[in-house]
Homo-oligomer: A and B are copies of this chain.
């Protein structure tokens, strides 16, 4: 079994070194790592073949295999991803504000790295280079623990990154890989107190829940999205239809896709048939409450569980509500605090919705699909936090940092 304490110690030392690097040097190292990934395309593809062969052996779905599959183009995209991270502004060192207090002390609030970040993730190998480069740029050492499906691909990728760092006379322990996909080791990583400053799980609800249940290190909860679109009585039919079709069907497997449609009773009879027709083109299964059931041509009754489920599929729960208040109450009861949207022409309805709905991102007249670090303009995304502590919503580089107060005195002591 991997000696996680050893990994933790190495990570702490590397984190200290990394925290002292200037931006210029960090960028040079990142660009060198990107080049090495591209240069080693052949060996990466070879390792990826092992994962794919194993996937076929285990009769893993074609969709999953596609996620796993690397090509020359995809490897080149991974390298470009690292280069994009190099091009981002470095948050470390920035003094957010500085002021003089009553004692004449100059007090500055400066951005510093968190230290050592653990990441537990599933399937896609590109998460390896994404996460490694984002942690590196923000001055953090990282311990990566990927899923067993992509084990060989992840392992070779980290080994290339480490060799690149070594070739540049920098500690390879800034980016480490847990080369053991056992449950026990994952649990040890979740309880690596004293070494991990934060653990970020990236993956499905079952992974997130396992981490929340077991972890004793600080965790940033990401990704589960039971998102709603509420169509108000003052909504425009075309806009409402476009938004719900986009939120449900553009990419149903992602966390910012919509799972439940709430619609005001005054427009249900007019709107739902049009929406049903549009969703039919994507063969969306409708799970409806009694009133919606009576309007739809084809739907099944929704169960209590459906309101709380993140389908991540072409399935939509639909409920007719009597008022905006009822819609907000339903959302605050069942949502996972991710992304919620109202479609309405009414000024006061949208303002009330934005104010009263409790979620990381609340929209008026836009698809929930926009909740994303790149779309928001952060230039990167390590995940979408659905908790309230430390970071909420799409997390870019800044969310991977902490602060410290630097205080310039001239001999002051306290009276």
Residues of A within 8 A of B (CB): 16, 20, 99, 101-103, 105, 107, 112, 114-115, 193, 197-198, 212-213, 216, 218, 220, 236, 239, 242-243, 245-247, 250, 332, 350, 354-356, 358-367, 369-371, 375-377, 387-390, 392-393, 402-414
> Could you list 14 examples of A-B contacts with CB < 8 Å?
A16-B332, A114-B389, A197-B389, A218-B387, A246-B414, A361-B407, A363-B407, A365-B411, A365-B412, A367-B412, A375-B414, A389-B389, A393-B403, A393-B405
Query: Top 9 closest A-B pairs, CB basis?
Result: A366-B409, A246-B413, A388-B402, A369-B414, A390-B390, A367-B413, A361-B405, A365-B409, A366-B412
Q: Which of B370, B376, B390 contacts A414 (CB 8 A)?
A: B370
A105-B370, A376-B101, A387-B218 known; A402+B392 contact, CB < 8 A: yes
Residues on the B chain within 8 Å of A105, using CB:
366, 370
Q: Are A103 and B370 in contact (CB under 8 A)?
A: yes
Q: Are B102 and A377 in contact (CB under 8 A)?
A: yes
Residues on the B chain within 8 Å of A112, using CB:
358
Q: Are B101 and A364 in contact (CB under 8 A)?
A: no
Having A358-B404, A370-B407, A392-B404, one finds 17 other A-B pairs with CB under 8 Å, namely A16-B332, A20-B355, A103-B366, A107-B377, A112-B358, A197-B389, A239-B411, A243-B411, A246-B414, A364-B407, A364-B409, A365-B410, A366-B410, A366-B411, A375-B414, A390-B390, A392-B405
Residues on the B chain within 8 Å of A412, using CB:
365-367, 370
Q: Which of B99, B114, B390, B392 contacts A377 (CB 8 A)?
A: B99
A389-B198, A389-B390, A390-B389 known; A407+B366 contact, CB < 8 A: yes
Residues on the B chain within 8 Å of A370, using CB:
103, 105, 407, 409, 412, 414
A360-B404, A362-B406, A405-B362 known; A377+B101 contact, CB < 8 A: yes
Q: Are A103 and B375 in contact (CB under 8 A)?
A: yes
Bound CA–CA A350/B409 (angstroms): 11
Q: Which of B250, B388, B413 contacts A247 (CB 8 A)?
A: B413
Q: Are B411 and A242 in contact (CB under 8 A)?
A: yes
Residue of B nearest to A240 (CB): B411
Residues on the B chain within 8 Å of A369, using CB:
413-414
Residues on the B chain within 8 Å of A114, using CB:
388-389
Bound CA–CA A212/B105 (angstroms): 33
Residues on the B chain within 8 Å of A193, using CB:
212
